Amino acid sequence: MAARRPYHHGNLREALVEAAIGLIGETGPQGFSLAEAARRAGVSPAAPYRHFKGRDDLLEEIAKRGFDEFAEAMEAAWDEGRPNPLAAFARLGQTYLDFARQRPAYYVAMFESELSLADNPDLWQASERGFATLIRAAEALSAPLPKDRRPPPRMFANHIWALSHGVVELFARGKRGTRSPISAEDMLNSGVLIYLRGLGLIGD
């Protein structure tokens, strides 16, 4: 039997992460194993255990990287509410759609892999960064409302997050026009406008 070729990548951890990202993008979060990631990286099935405790540990690393990148994108899009909170808020929605389309493997690992954020403080903290930007945006948008009509910022942010996630799942993941002739962008923007109008933040 021929000897296994020596590993030449130089960074086994990164090679395994990249291999897993490719597998998740092709087959989903449940469609890869540590052994398959090792095979794709060109190493023995035992090699990944030098860096990861198991499959979920590798999946958590990918999700954390995704949350970190997502948070940076959301912070850049919000840009402290410039030039005004409504315009900046619209950029957040587009950023959410763009991230889901452009980084599908990260998005799946973050939101569809059934990882327990509560059991991983680092992952929870990473996930909260992007959400914190949405909370700040909700606070800025609802500031003109009287206090007795102002929704809690986290609830406001949760509503928008749920709307964004729903649009991604139903209208932004497949080919255009397969579920609706309306684009995902128009679907999300119209939903947000209806929500903001219901709060009395914008007029007709």
* pLDDT surpasses 60 at 7: no
pLDDT tens digits for 160-194? Answer: 999 999 999 888 865 554 566 889 999 999 999 99
Q: What would the pLDDT profile of 93-144 be if each residue is shown by its tens digit?
A: 999 999 999 999 999 999 998 898 888 999 999 999 999 999 999 999 999 9
pTM: 0.88
Tell me what pLDDT residue 93 has.
Answer: 95
Concatenate the DSSP letters of all residues of the chain into one string.
-PPPPPP-SS-HHHHHHHHHHHHHHHH-TTS--HHHHHHHHTS-TTGGGGT-SSHHHHHHHHHHHHHHHHHHHHHHHHGGG-S-HHHHHHHHHHHHHHHHHH-HHHHHHHHSS---GGG-HHHHHHHHHHHHHHHHHHHHHHTTS-GGGPPPHHHHHHHHHHHHHHHIIIIISS-TTSS-SS-HHHHHHHHHHHHHHHHTSS--
On average, the pLDDT of the chain sits at: 89
Ordered by where they begin, the domains of the chain are 8-52 (1.10.10), 53-199 (1.10.357.10)
